[in-house]
Amino acid sequence: MMKRETFPIASIYVPLKRRSTLDQGRVDTIAQSMLESGQTTPILVREDGARFVLVEGLHRLEAARSLGENTIVGFRVQARKH
């Protein structure tokens, strides 16, 4: 079972292909929800050396960043072998 961890936002890399799907309207909506209720759904990251790579949760990550947060709650997942 995965356990929740707190990750520094500055150490999370977002791949360019994933970043291209960013919808600012969704970010604003999620940021408002975070202000009212906190972060309800963790993001998913995988380790890549000294940093983490975002697997799932771009809009939550960007909402937290827009609110000035330094950390975000998430789960660490294993990289898939191809």
Burial of 50 (0-12, 13-18, 19+ CB in 10 A): exposed
Q: How does pLDDT run across 41-56, given as a tens digit for each residue?
A: 999 999 998 899 999 9
Annotated domain spans of the chain: 21-77
Choose among 63, 45, 59, 62: nearest CA to 7. 45
Give the pLDDT band (50/70/90) at residue 80. Answer: low
State percent of the chain over pLDDT 70: 94
Report d(CA 26, CA 45) in Å as an integer: 20
**What single-letter DSSP state applies at residue 12?**
E
Q: Report the CATH architecture of 21-77.
A: Alpha-Beta Complex (3.90)
**Tens digit of each residue's pLDDT (9 = 90 or more) over 52-72:** 999 999 999 999 999 999 999
pLDDT of the residue at 81? 52
pTM of the model: 0.90
Instruction: For residue 51, give the nearest of 14, 4, 3, 1 by alpha carbon.
Output: 14
Mean pLDDT of the 71-77 span: 96
